[in-house]
């Protein structure tokens, strides 16, 4: 048994040799802030060539590639122009703001191009369904950019749950967020309705949901009761230390706080809340209750949403009539490679090996259904049924 476990451990850690005989031709759609991270990770891969880029803002793509010191990249005014002109792209990174995620990704898939799409997957349930159909029709890879999937601690949560030690899971409370973290310093595309569509809910709520849903095997959501608000985001006093408080408050068109009560299949309740800004240091720990045990994932104060836990996992059980708590030693960080690098590598490997992506729409569609469902239910003021009809 020990041998099997050791071998498993080695397999997990063994780094695959990269075949550089074929270089993947990659294009970047949207050359803003997160595209910098894509670019930095792509440039570390010996089998990737960045051949094209597109941005709606004139001159932005050209300046972006110059900044990264990459020459000869063909630049286009939007995703369509790029995909229409570039006939031998192996893949694209869709790094646009949320509102154009679906449009750009569907166009690429329809033209036979593999897609690494930034998170959240999209904004509305209709977009999610259209993306799902496009991915299935294309036979191409659509990988969604949830890099915390590669975080050793996030993987540890799944490993612990997968042992079955919790029994049948029936309740999860999760979420978290930031105490003071409306992302305005990077421009206003995160806070305007027309570009972001969703606020804290989509931006960091998608990760908080993924951490638990991935651990329990992504059950289907059935109904959602949602709430969202924007009291801090719309208040100029919130931005008092910024130089544009009135402008930010005026432009703020998304949620800075959201909560949802979600019924999942198999009689599981998900109790979720997420904030970009609040007058509290934490919304509490993540807790998974099962018939045989419970797992506490301690929240990190002030900022907790992206693999940032506040301490080791704790398992609660009842053994021979005694209440027992087991502190599970924290998984070690992997040196020399970020979660982001591993997300980029996983996309390249999936293209080259023609395998399924590790972060597939088959799962993320349920994540998106919850996010879009919370927004829709909050706007309607009542519970909604999730109808994906896939
Ligand atoms: N994975 C992460 O850690 C992480 C971190 C930050 C942001 N993000 C995500 O990345 C996305 C982009 O965020 P950002 O901060 O880089 O935004 P940004 O506003 O800085 O950049 C987006 C760019 O996309 C361009 N664009 C929009 N539609 C386009 C189209 N059809 N064709 C070509 N260009 C188009 C815009 O002109 C803009 O320059 C968001 O969805 C965000 O949630 C992910």
Give the separation between CA 71 and CA 57, rounded to whole angstroms.
20
- Can you give the pLDDT at residue 270? 98
Give the nearest ligand 1 atom to 101 CA: 41
Q: Give yes or no for residue 97 CB within 6 A of ligand 1.
A: yes
Domains of the chain: 2-146+340-359 (3.40.50.720), 148-333+368-380 (3.30.360.10)
What backbone phi and psi angles, to 5 degrees, belong to 63? -65, -35
Contact of 286 with 271, CB cutoff 8 Å: no
- Can you give the pLDDT at residue 14? 52
- Can you give the pLDDT at residue 5? 38
Give the Å distance between the CA of 30 and the centre of ligand 1: 6
The residue among 6, 9, 7, 352 whose CA lies nearest residue 155 is 9
Q: Give yes or no for residue 98 CB within 6 A of ligand 1.
A: yes
Q: Give yes or no for residue 199 CB within 6 A of ligand 1.
A: no
- Can you give the pLDDT at residue 4? 35
Q: Give yes or no for residue 78 CB within 6 A of ligand 1.
A: yes
Quick one: tokens of 13? Answer: 């850690």
Q: Whose CA is nearest to atom 18 of ligand 1?
A: 32
Q: Give yes or no for residue 54 CB within 6 A of ligand 1.
A: yes
Give the separation between CA 27 and CA 92, rounded to whole angstroms.
5
Low-confidence ranges of the chain (pLDDT < 70): 1-15
Mutational test site, ligand 1, from 28, 34, 67, 120, max ligand atoms within 8 Å of CB: 34
Q: Give yes or no for residue 210 CB within 6 A of ligand 1.
A: no
Give the separation between CA 321 and CA 344, rounded to whole angstroms.
48
Q: Are strands 142-144 and 114-117 parallel, antiparallel or unpaired?
A: parallel
* pLDDT tens digits, 60-109: 999 999 999 999 999 999 999 999 999 999 999 999 999 999 999 999 99
Beta bridge partners of 309: 299
Q: How would DSSP label each residue in 5-54?
A: HHHHHHHHHPPPPP--SSPEEEEEE--SHHHHHHHHHHHT-TTEEEEEEE
Give the Å distance between the CA of 19 and the centre of ligand 1: 30
User: Can you give the pTM of this predicted structure?
Assistant: 0.95
Give the Å distance between the CA of 31 and the centre of ligand 1: 7
Give the separation between CA 201 and CA 79, rounded to whole angstroms.
26
């Amino acid at each position: 048994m020990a041998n099997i476990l050791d071998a498993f451990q080695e397999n997990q850690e063994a780094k695959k040799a990269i075949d550089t005989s074929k270089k993947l031709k990659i294009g970047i759609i949207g050359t803003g802030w997160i595209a910098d991270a894509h670019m930095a990770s792509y440039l570390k891969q010996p089998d990737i060539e960045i051949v094209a880029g597109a941005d709606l803002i004139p001159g932005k793509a050209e300046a972006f590639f110059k900044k990264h010191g990459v020459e000869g990249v063909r630049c286009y005014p939007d995703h369509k122009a790029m995909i229409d002109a570039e006939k031998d792209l192996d893949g694209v990174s869709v790094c646009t703001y949320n509102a154009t995620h679906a449009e750009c990704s569907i166009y690429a898939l329809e033209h036979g191009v593999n897609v690494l799409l930034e998170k959240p997957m999209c904004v509305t349930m209709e977009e999610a369904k259209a993306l799902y159909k496009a991915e299935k029709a294309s036979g191409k890879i659509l990988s969604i950019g949830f890099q915390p999937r590669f975080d050793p601690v996030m993987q540890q949560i799944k490993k612990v749950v997968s042992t079955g030690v919790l029994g049948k899971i029936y309740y999860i409370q999760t979420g978290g967020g930031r105490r003071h973290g409306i992302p305005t310093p990077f421009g206003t595309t995160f806070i305007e309705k027309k570009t972001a569509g969703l606020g804290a809910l989509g931006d960091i709520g998608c990760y908080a949901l993924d951490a638990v849903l991935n651990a329990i095997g992504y059950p289907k959501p059935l109904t959602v009761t949602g709430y969202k608000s924007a009291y801090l985001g719309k208040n100029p006093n919130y931005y008092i230390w910024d130089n544009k408080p009135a402008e930010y408050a005026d432009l703020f068109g998304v949620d800075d706080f959201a909560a949802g009560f979600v019924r999942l299949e198999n009689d599981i309740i998900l109790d979720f809340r997420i904030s970009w800004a609040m007058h509290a240091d934490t919304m509490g720990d993540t807790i998974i209750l099962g018939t045989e045990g419970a797992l506490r994932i301690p929240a990190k104060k002030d900022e907790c949403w992206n693999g940032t836990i506040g301490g080791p996992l704790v398992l609660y059980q009842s053994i021979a009539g005694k209440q027992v708590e087991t502190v599970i030693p924290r998984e070690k960080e992997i040196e020399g490679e970020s979660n982001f690098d591993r997300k980029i590598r996983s996309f390249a490997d999936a293209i080259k090996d023609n395998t399924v992506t590790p972060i597939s729409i088959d799962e993320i569609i349920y994540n998106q259904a919850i996010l879009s469902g919370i927004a829709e239910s909050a706007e309607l003021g009542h519970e909604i049924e999730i109808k994906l009809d896939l």
